[in-house]
Amino acid sequence: MAIKAVPDETVRHFLTLNDLSASEFRAIIHRAIELKAMQHRGEIYEPLKNKVLAMIFEKSSTRTRVSFETGMAQFGGHAIFLSPRDTQLGRGEPIEDSARVLSSMADCLMVRTFEHEKAELLAQYSSVPVINGLTDDVHPCQLLADMQTYFEQRGDIKGKTVTWVGDGNNMCHSYMRAAKLLEFKLNIACPEGFEPQQKFIDECRNNIEITTDVSAACTNSDLIVTDVWASMGQEEEQNTRELAFNDFQVTTELMDLAKNNALFMHCLPAHRGEEVSADVIDGSQSVVWDEAENRLHAQKALLEFLLLD
Ligand code: CP
Ligand code: NVA
């Protein structure tokens, strides 16, 4: 009998934040907050019993892997970790064939990879929802958790000012799209030559301002966010990037320019003494541990949204 998987335009994927409307984004955030409370009360809730999530990781991960695996287990389902090292993906089996086969068995796929187009190709040939667990271009799952964290701490982010300090990378691009969807202002302070990609600038230009003046960008901000100077895949650029980003460390001096109740976020893993000083990330304005925990709750809300709605 033929395998059931065929390209299906009706399947809902989560490859970027643009796959959500603003109201869906907010609904997922609010549901994540509810699921977190249920989890903390010890309530058993297993809406995905017998469902399987197949996870392809072509880059390293701690949070993304553990949050999806734990979330599926808590939901009564199961997650499978697939690495190119020990699957046929690493030996050149086409992504289209892998998509057809995996989606004929699993109920949802997750992929962390380099080229964003690879995640798109997987989705194109998958008969089940595909979740982007990070590509070179975007990291939408992290934004679900970051926005949940902001809403929990301070309420809706609409009309607030957020400052991105550092590389115009995948995290920055996802912040840009979140700014457009949730209607906040995003200041982006980055060194010359490390700006976000032009297509993201064009798409989000009404909500962003790009500058090299990191102090001006942080002044009166409600939330300061940063990320590593060299992302996965850029390891050999570490030394040149350390020089270029030297003035782009989030310090207490920068935090002091922001609003008194400003928060600090970082998707982690962090490098203390590079993109952030130890006293900021370990200080009272930092919410990085809530942010990391919320990966679990936000992605459970996402799985419910994609698999039950
Ligand atoms: N923030 C994040 O995605 O962490 P991992 O790389 O550990 O998954
Ligand atoms: N920008 C970082 C995020 C890690 C979660 C990277 O892509 O490596």
Tens digit of pLDDT for each residue in 119-154? 999 999 999 999 999 999 999 999 999 999 999 999
pLDDT at 233 (0 to 100): 97
Q: Which ligand 2 atom sits closest to the C-alpha of 234?
A: 8
205 is catalytic: no
285 is catalytic: no
Question: Are the C-beta atoms of 110 and 131 separated by less than 8 Å?
Answer: yes
Q: Confidence band (pLDDT; 50, 70, 90) for 197?
A: very high
Angle 230-258-216 from CA coordinates, rounded to 5°: 70
295 is catalytic: yes
- Does 135 sit in the ligand 2 pocket, CB within 6 Å? no
* Per-residue pLDDT tens digits for 206-253: 999 999 999 999 999 999 999 999 999 999 999 999 999 999 999 999
pLDDT at 209 (0 to 100): 98
Gap from CA of 201 to ligand 1 centroid (Å)? 25
* Per-residue pLDDT tens digits for 80-119: 999 999 999 999 999 999 999 999 999 999 999 999 999 9
Gap from CA of 114 to ligand 2 centroid (Å)? 11
* Per-residue pLDDT tens digits for 263-304: 999 999 999 999 999 999 999 999 999 999 999 999 999 999
**Alpha-carbon separation of residue 140 from 96, 172, 218, 291 (angstroms):** 23, 10, 23, 14
Q: Confidence band (pLDDT; 50, 70, 90) for 7?
A: low
pLDDT at 10 (0 to 100): 86
* Per-residue pLDDT tens digits for 13-69: 999 999 999 999 999 999 999 999 999 999 999 999 999 999 999 999 999 999 999
Which ligand is the nearest neighbour of the Cα of 293?
1
State which of 113, 114, 134 you would mutate to test the pocket of ligand 1, scoring each by most atoms of that ligand within 8 A of its C-beta.
134
Gap from CA of 1 to ligand 1 centroid (Å)? 39
3-class secondary-structure state, position 237 = helix
* Two tokens, residue 282: 């370990």
pLDDT at 70 over 90: yes
- Does 66 sit in the ligand 1 pocket, CB within 6 Å? no
- Does 61 sit in the ligand 1 pocket, CB within 6 Å? yes
pLDDT at 2 (0 to 100): 41
* Strand 52-57 with 78-82, pairing: parallel
227 is catalytic: yes
pLDDT at 4 over 50: no
- Does 163 sit in the ligand 1 pocket, CB within 6 Å? no
pLDDT at 9 over 80: no
- In order of their start, the domains of the chain are 17-139+294-307 (3.40.50.1370), 142-291 (3.40.50.1370)
The pTM assigned to this predicted structure is 0.96
pLDDT at 3 over 50: no
Give the Cα separation of 264 and 269 in Å (integer): 14
Give the Cα separation of 81 and 67 in Å (integer): 12
